[in-house]
Amino acid sequence: MIAVAFTTISEEKLLPYKDEKGYNMALSLCRNADKVSSFGGDVVGDICGILSGAGGVSLVLNMHLEGEQVNLLVTCLVSSLIAGITIFCKAIMKSYSIENCDKIAIKTGSYLEFGKKKKGKEKNEK
């Protein structure tokens, strides 16, 4: 969602949010949209895919099913369900991200600025 939002947004779309918290970070991310897209879409997306697949496998293994055919059937069903939900949600979120890229960018910028300020306070206290 964040990767698509920063791929589609332009600096002009951020101008109405100039006085809001997160603007500077959102502008910086917008200027580095290729890196944000690669990290958000590829790295984070791949990690989420791997974790959801591993979660599905652990579910099937913890069911203690008897019979090879039943185990194979349940494994296929769980894998298909996870893949279907993932693909469906990604499709919905892509269109949402394109339509609301400015709001997503500002919200992401404010979260990152909040984390940056909090991290800076911890360093100053030491």
Q: Is residue 35 part of a domain?
A: yes
Sign of the dihedral defined by the CA atoms of residues 71, 72, 75, 80, in that order = negative
44 vs 98: CA distance, rounded Å: 19
Q: Is residue 38 part of a domain?
A: yes
Quickly list H helices, the chain: 2-8, 11-14, 23-31, 33-37, 45-62, 68-99, 101-125
87 token code pair: 């693909």
Q: What is the pLDDT of residues 68-101, one digit of tens each?
A: 888 888 888 988 898 899 889 888 999 999 999 9
Q: Is residue 121 part of a domain?
A: no
Residues of the domain holding 67: 2-8+20-111
Q: Is residue 123 part of a domain?
A: no
- pLDDT band per the 50, 70, 90 thresholds, residue 117: low
DSSP 16: G
- The domain tally of the chain equals 1
Q: Is residue 119 part of a domain?
A: no
Q: Is residue 125 part of a domain?
A: no
pTM (predicted TM-score): 0.72
Q: Is residue 32 part of a domain?
A: yes
Q: Is residue 91 part of a domain?
A: yes
